[in-house]
Amino acid sequence: MTSDRSAPPRIVRLTGPIFPPSLHEVKQIESRGWTLTTVAGTSPDQIIPHVSDADIVSVVGTYIPAQVIDAMTRVRAIARLGAGTDRIDVAHATSRGIVVMNTPYFCVEEQADHTMAMILSLARKLPLSQRAIESGKYAEARAASATNPRLSRTTLGLVGFGRSAVHTARRARGFGMRVLATRRNMSAPTDEADSLGVVMTDLDTILRESDFVSLHLPLTRGSRHMIDADALSRMKPSAYLINTSRGALVDEHALVKALHAGQIAGAGLDTFAIIEVLDESGPPDAHPLMHMDNVLLSPHVAAGSDRSGMDSVDAGIENIGAILGGFWPVPEHRVNPEVVPRVPLIDREAR
């Protein structure tokens, strides 16, 4: 692979239909003397002509399959502005010596806030109350409120105990909730959990004992559909499922059946497998869970705030600057640390 490294680094930003660079992002790139090319197309045929001579490909929600990666003959790294990388063929990028980076912590506060907002809304039956107001069925809402749980007498189960879950636990403890949590590495230190009064346990215990089960983990082969019909059958009939992480963590068809059968009390979903929330042309009745009084839906907006977008850009720019300077990004931002990079990199700490 040969290229002219004396020219200004070329950043190709895949924007998809709804994620153009912000003014802040453009200014950050221009201030460093890098060139920026934006690509709105989402098909491989539309993307490939632009990425072949890029130094860095930056992306929010566009799919990057193997076909596109094979065209990246010069690319040093794929910079994901956000946490999840399930839309990128990371294994193929690794085989081609391309570093994959993300910004996993830009919205942990927002995700925790959104999770708690869903918990509170479902506990207080606000979706039902909203529809009661709209239809004039006020007595229905008053009757339903008699079964609202007192939050300080409930248990929250966190599936995954990364930063968003830690922030959620801190908020839940403030409401007096008992908090359980599980994670893949159960032998990891529990100092943070202990300081918050969080009990680390196994998934089965969380499903059996929790009044609210909240998902806080990435989508991988091992986690896909981890909340399936069997898992739902182990939850309490009075329990609610909350998902602000990745839609395919839940078998949504099984969830629909469980809700219609009264197997669980309700659900709050911000991410979906059935709905493509990045497609603005989606029909208004795109999901069988719509118009249910015990279901709260939001279109993948748990990350949004007046700060999170800027934080994601700043972390992404830091990642790009590290690669272009010959350094690895910080360990927490390395998606494929096992990759042998096309251009040798060193750890800043090793200098």
pLDDT attached to residue 5 = 58
Contact 35, 60 (CB under 8 A): no
pLDDT attached to residue 283 = 64
Q: What is the mean pLDDT of residues 76-97?
A: 96
Going across the sheet that includes 212-215, the strands are: 199-200, 178-182, 155-159, 212-215, 240-243, 266-269, 295-297
Q: Which residues form the catalytic set?
A: 246, 280, 300
Gyration radius of the chain's alpha carbons = 22
pLDDT, one tens digit per residue, over 182-216 is 999 998 889 999 999 999 999 999 999 999 999 99
**How much helix, strand and coil, in percent to the nearest 5, is found in the chain?**
35, 15, 45
pLDDT attached to residue 251 = 97
pLDDT, one tens digit per residue, over 249-274 is 999 999 999 999 999 999 999 999 88
pLDDT attached to residue 38 = 97
Q: Say how far apart CA 11 and CA 14 lie, in whole Å.
A: 10
pLDDT attached to residue 182 = 97
Q: Match 């909340």 to its residue by tokens.
A: 227
Q: What is the mean pLDDT of residues 151-160?
A: 98
pLDDT attached to residue 1 = 46
The per-residue pLDDT of the chain, averaged, comes to 94
Q: What is the mean pLDDT of residues 229-248?
A: 97
pLDDT attached to residue 276 = 78
Q: Give me the domains of the chain, ranges plus CATH numbers.
A: 10-106+306-350 (3.40.50.720), 108-297 (3.40.50.720)
Q: Say how far apart CA 291 and CA 340 lie, in whole Å.
A: 50
pLDDT attached to residue 58 = 98
Q: What is the mean pLDDT of residues 280-295?
A: 77
Q: Is the pLDDT of residue 280 over 70?
A: no
Contact 177, 206 (CB under 8 A): no
pTM of the model: 0.91
CA nearest neighbour of 127 among 267, 256, 254: 267
What's the N-to-C CA distance of the chain in angstroms? Answer: 27
Q: What angle do CA 165, 170, 172 make, to 5 degrees?
A: 90
Percentage of residues in the chain with pLDDT exceeding 70? Answer: 96
**302 pLDDT tier (thresholds 50, 70, 90):** very high
